[in-house]
Amino acid sequence: MHRAAHPAADPALAGAQRHGADTDDSDRTALIARAHARSAGFGLDAGHAPGYEALAACALGELVDASRDLYRHALPVMETLHAQIANTDSMVLLTDSSGVILHSLGDGAFVARARRVALAPGVSWSEPSKGTNAIGTALAEARPTIVHAGEHFLQANHQLTCSCAPIAGPTGEILGALDVSGDHRGFHRHTMALVRMSAQMIENHLFANHFPEAVLVRFHARPEFVGTLFEGMAAFTPDGAFLAANRSGLFQLGLAPQALALSGFAALFGQPVRMAMQARAAATLHVLTLPSRVQVFARIEYRAAPVSVRQPLAEEPLPPALAALDTGDAAVAAVLRRVRKVSGRDIPILVQGRTGAGKEWLARAIHAASPRATGPFVAVNCAAIPETLIEAELFGYEEGAFTGARRRGSPGKLAQAHGGTLFLDEIGDMPLAQQVRLMRVLQERAVTPLGAAQAVPVDVRVVCATHRDLRAMIAEGSFREDLYYRINALAVTLPALCERSDLPVLVERILQRQREESGPESPLRVSAQAMALLRSHPWPGNIRQLANVLRTAAILAEGEVEIGCEHLPEGFEQECGGPVDLSPCATTAPASGAGRMRDWEAGIIRQALARHGGNVSHAARELGVSRNTIYRRLKEGLDDDPAAEG
């Protein structure tokens, strides 16, 4: 049977109690023994490493979404904590209440080792899945916990030392946990204290922002502690009924929860709430008397509820920028609702979808609907920049940094996006070396241009897009997993045009926009026959191709009342799989399978190339895709074709 190492036997652990854990040595031994007994009860085998499967990105995105308040308030605190433990071969982790890692920040060398034991987002570290470990055990015991080296139930984790504190919500429920894990040889007795203080900071932020309509009292017996991590906080209704208090508040008030629940402001602070509220505008602190007769210094705040907080989120209208993309397709509407939920927060979003499906448009709308709307929106297409230039383009360079560098250098796209949104299109095409640099910039929020000695602070929200399967790329080693999780707090997938149910509305919107761009002309309709053709087309170039087809058709139909089949490109009907019928595009496309879909797209591209005598630019223009897309699709088609040579 696996035996718990005695904490006192490890000199590194001596004094852990004095530096953060709530337990003395005998308590710790008992705590680890309890955790081991539970772990054995779960049927875990100490010598056997369990499967290390992470949740799929979208499932992880849903968990992050479900814990969005915790995530939002924890992220900046994690960054600060990470800066404090930088270069200590360790990482900072945030989990939800079930122990699934939601977010991680770490040092390069340790991250690679941590990945081997699945210390990565999407993996559960609950006791039932990993046995005794700081995260699972802290959550099970609802107390700050250190689990060091051989105290881990699984031998695979004996190389780790972990310090974890649960994070309680404003009404006391455990929302998740904050953990620092590192190499056991680097155990530092102050780590637990840092983790506890950071967890406390997150709890205080959550508390201060939780009650939409409340009188908030921040108090402490020492005036210099009001407004710090150590202040007590208590929330009351506007007529003085007690709502909740944070840890320090509960400690200072010194009453049992049942007694507090029945108390009011006057009973706890010795004067009516109205009197305290009248004094709240004064710059000086207010003196109040606790039931224990102890006098405390207090700052009193009152927040009235914004009307919208009372309405369920789902009923709120979309902000105009997002509403403009809502053309009636259910999948698109679901995407818009998801991004709307995080629109006020700097959460990185990964937009997935085929070429031309509207990823950049969505990114622009996300920016326009965010508090950064007045800042810049800078788009970078990683597939369109030669590999050798990506670094200079993104990170900037000093004068003379490399041969061919512009005089006076360049700030780079990241710095240009300062205060706004950086849209990284085709992020899957970014070379690995630049992925490492980008990761560092996002972590440190500062960029060092090529040839520069000084880092420049950058404040950007990142929205990335890809048509590639980044998880498959991670598996084959061509995309960094840490970057993937960094850019992918929320992943959304735009449907291909042929999967959308809103083609007529989309057509109408595109024609309307094109009319607005090219001056007042009589409104154009699309004939029923032509609409049926549009519906049955496979649209490999998606909305971009549709917009191009409509632009040309509108010009050809000038002076007529509607766009007819004769205004659509030559060969259009054949691409639709024959004569016009009213069947949806899916029936003309291959039955299923991403591979066959690609072959079929490659076939359409080959036909277009044949029509244009092999001229890639002309074929690209007709299909409404970039030349890069044509090259890529042809290459993918050939790579997948077992009969292809070479």
State the amino acid at position 328 in one-letter form: G
DSSP readout, 107-150? -HHHHHHHHHTT-STT-B--HHHH-S-HHHHHHHHTS-EEEEGG
Least distance to ligand ATP from the beta carbon of 627, Å? Answer: 11
Q: Are 97 and 137 in contact (CB under 8 A)?
A: no
361 binding ligand ATP? (CB under 6 A): yes
Q: Which of 114, 193, 462, 510 binds ligand ATP (CB under 6 A)?
A: 510
Structure tokens at 349: 């979003």
Residues 275-304 that bind ligand ATP (CB under 6 A): none
3-state class (DSSP) for residue 41: helix
DSSP readout, 337-381? HHHHHTTTS---EEEE--TTSSHHHHHHHHHHTSTTTTS-EEEEE
Q: Which of 28, 36, 299, 359 binds ligand ATP (CB under 6 A)?
A: 359
367 binding ligand ATP? (CB under 6 A): no
Taken in order 508, 514, 516, 521, the sign of the CA dihedral is: negative
Q: Which of 143, 525 has the CB closer to ligand ATP?
A: 525
With b meaning 16 or more CB within 10 Å and e meaning fewer, what string describes 543-561? Answer: bbbbbbbbbbbbeebeeee
Least distance to ligand ATP from the beta carbon of 494, Å? Answer: 7
Q: Which of 149, 511 has the CB closer to ligand ATP?
A: 511
Least distance to ligand ATP from the beta carbon of 506, Å? Answer: 6
Residue with tokens 């040309």: 552
Q: Are 101 and 108 in contact (CB under 8 A)?
A: no
360 binding ligand ATP? (CB under 6 A): yes
Q: Which of 49, 379 has the CB closer to ligand ATP?
A: 379
Stretch that binds ligand ATP, among 221-229, 350-358, 394-402, 614-622 (CB under 6 A): 350-358
509 binding ligand ATP? (CB under 6 A): yes
With b meaning 16 or more CB within 10 Å and e meaning fewer, what string describes 287-305? Answer: ebebeeeeebbbbbeeeee
Q: Which residue is nearest to ligand ATP (CB)?
A: 358
Number of chain positions touching ligand ATP (CB under 6 A)? 19
Residues 465-494 that bind ligand ATP (CB under 6 A): 465, 467
Least distance to ligand ATP from the beta carbon of 165, Å? Answer: 42
Q: Which of 28, 437, 544, 632 binds ligand ATP (CB under 6 A)?
A: 544
Task: Identify the helix (H) or strand (E) that includes residue 422.
Answer: strand 421-425
Least distance to ligand ATP from the beta carbon of 121, Å? Answer: 26
Residue with tokens 């620092």: 180
Four-CA torsion 540, 546, 552, 554, nearest 10 degrees:
160
Phi, psi of 241 (to 5 degrees): -75, 140
Stretch that binds ligand ATP, among 81-89, 205-213, 353-361, 595-603 (CB under 6 A): 353-361
Q: Which of 201, 325, 394, 498 binds ligand ATP (CB under 6 A)?
A: 325
Least distance to ligand ATP from the beta carbon of 492, Å? Answer: 12
State the amino acid at position 627 in one-letter form: R
Q: Which of 99, 356, 409, 538 binds ligand ATP (CB under 6 A)?
A: 356
Q: Which of 199, 524, 543, 557 binds ligand ATP (CB under 6 A)?
A: 543
621 binding ligand ATP? (CB under 6 A): no
Residues of this chain that interact with ligand ATP (CB under 6 A) are: 325, 353, 355-361, 425, 465, 467, 506, 509-510, 543-544, 547, 626
